[in-house]
Amino acid sequence: MSGVQPQPHFKEVLTLIEQARQRATQAVNTQLVELYWQVGAYISHKLEQAEWGDAVVGQLAEYLAQTQPGLRGFTRRNLFRMRQFFETYRHDEKVTALLTQLPWTHNLSILSQCKRPEEREFYLRMAIQEKWSSRELDRQLKTALFERSVMQPVKVSPAVRQAHPGALDVFRDAYMVEFLDLPPGHAEADLHQGLLQRLKDFLIELGRDFCFVGSEYPLQVGGRDFALDLLFFHRGLNCLVAIELKVGRFEPEYLGKLDFYLEALDRDERKPHENPAIGVLLCASKDDEVVEYALNRSLSPALIAEYQTQLPDKALLQAKLHEFYTLNAMEGSNGHEL
């Protein structure tokens, strides 16, 4: 049997099929999450009205297993999860619209690992925006992304706030690169090569709209050749993003070189429809006060961030976040009394 010779437009039909499959999968997921919500609401009502005791939920699970042998996911434990799912979000209309946009496994991860309403909303929105897989969502929960975002906002120059106000929601104060397995005394070449070898993981950590342009990107100025460590493009901000790597702590003089690269990119590489380039100094460590002083007078759209080779102590960050919220609540209360 001879193989079929594909015609130029065959791929268009294949695209239509894939799009239909994706819509069908999303429709099934939406119906499934809505079903779990309805079952959770039903069980919650019965328990709140004292019509049922907890034992009845177990009996319901047994009844469903006997009458619907092919039905999966309705164990006693899962039925109580559905109840918790409903009771957690039933008074939060802003969030309930997000729930059906994510698979049930995503919802369960967020429900079980997040304690605060604002934390749950944060991960729901980020998972939808970044299209995280279940594995990547679990990783971001382990890295305490919410705690870090609240307590460690990104440090940027005034030029970033003026030219790219949306950048504050794109960049982070610290990036986790634990997947590189770097030794304590690693060199800049080790970091650079590791990021290239695990580029897919690094792009996920950076964010969905980042596109890789080049490594050791050549720039020629005044007859001299220079090489920028990493160059990306951000679709949402519509600009080039230059990343310079430093395996030591941040030093103020690093900004001068980054400013030079940004000027070269804007003059020689930027397209007419693109916004000015943004520069990122990715360092092993930094003193926040030194960073603030260095960035305050910088005329270039630049920011300083850390790369971290080990996952943070999430319990410690959660404790600090609790203190942070408690202090803010006390200050708000005092201000109200005045």
Confidence check: pLDDT of 1 > 50: no
What pLDDT digit, counting tens, does each position of 157-196 carry? 999 999 898 999 999 999 999 999 999 899 999 999 999 9
**How far apart (Å, rounded) are the C-alpha atoms in residues 111 and 182?**
33
How many Cα neighbours within 13 Å face the side chain of 56?
9
Whether the predicted pLDDT of 304 surpasses 50:
yes
The predicted structure's pLDDT at residue 2: 55
Residue with the two structure tokens 């019509």: 51
Higher model confidence: residue 337 or residue 277?
277
For residue 333, what pLDDT is reported? Answer: 62
pLDDT in tens, 197-215: 999 999 999 999 999 999 9
- Beta-bridge partners for 217: 228
- Please give the distance of CA 34 from its chain centroid, rounded to a whole number: 25
Alpha-carbon dihedral sign for residues 154, 160, 166, 167: negative
Residue 18 has pLDDT above 90, yes or no: no
Whole-angstrom Cα distance, residue 201 to residue 199?
5
Mean pLDDT of 135-156: 93
Task: Output the six-digit token pair for 164.
Answer: 């790219």
**pLDDT greater at residue 337 or residue 331:** 331
Kindly tell me if the per-residue pLDDT of 238 is higher than 80.
yes
Neighbours of 306 (CB within 10 A): 20
In terms of average pLDDT, the best of 63-72, 89-98, 187-196, 323-332 is 187-196
Name residues whose C-beta falls within 8 Å of residue 37's C-beta, 6 or more positions apart in sequence: 82, 85, 86, 99
Question: Among 103-112, 255-264, 317-326, where is mean pLDDT lowest?
Answer: 317-326
pLDDT at 24 over 90: no
- Using pLDDT thresholds of 50, 70 and 90, give the confidence band for residue 141: very high
Rounded to an integer, what distance in angstroms lies between the CA atom of residue 47 and that of residue 33? 21
Which is higher by pLDDT, 322 or 209? Answer: 209
Q: Rounded mean pLDDT of the chain?
A: 91
Judged against a pLDDT cut of 80, whether residue 39 lies above it is answered with: yes
pTM: 0.84
- Per-residue 3-state assignment (H helix, E strand, C coil) for the chain: CCCCCCCCCHHHHHHHHHHHHHHHHHHHHHHHHHHHHHHHHHHHHHHHCCCCCHHHHHHHHHHHHHHCCCCCCCCHHHHHHHHHHHHHHCCCHHHHHHHCCCCHHHHHHHHHHCCCHHHHHHHHHHHHHHCCCHHHHHHHHHCCHHHHHHHCCCEECHHHHHHCHHHHHCCCCEEECHHHCCCCCCCHHHHHHHHHHCHHHHHHHHCCCEEEEEEEEEEEECCEEEEEEEEEEECCCCEEEEEEEEEEECCCCHHHHHHHHHHHHHHHHCCCCCEEEEEEEEEEECCHHHHHHHHHCCCCCEEEEEEECCCCCHHHHHHHHHHHHHHHHHHHHHHHHC
Q: Residue 338: which pLDDT band, with cuts at 50, 70 and 90?
A: very low
Position 41 pLDDT exceeds 80 = yes
Per cent of the chain over pLDDT 70 is 95
What separation in angstroms does the CA of 181 have from each of 4, 285, 311, 337? 47, 17, 11, 52
Q: Which of 8 and 316 is assigned the larger pLDDT?
A: 316
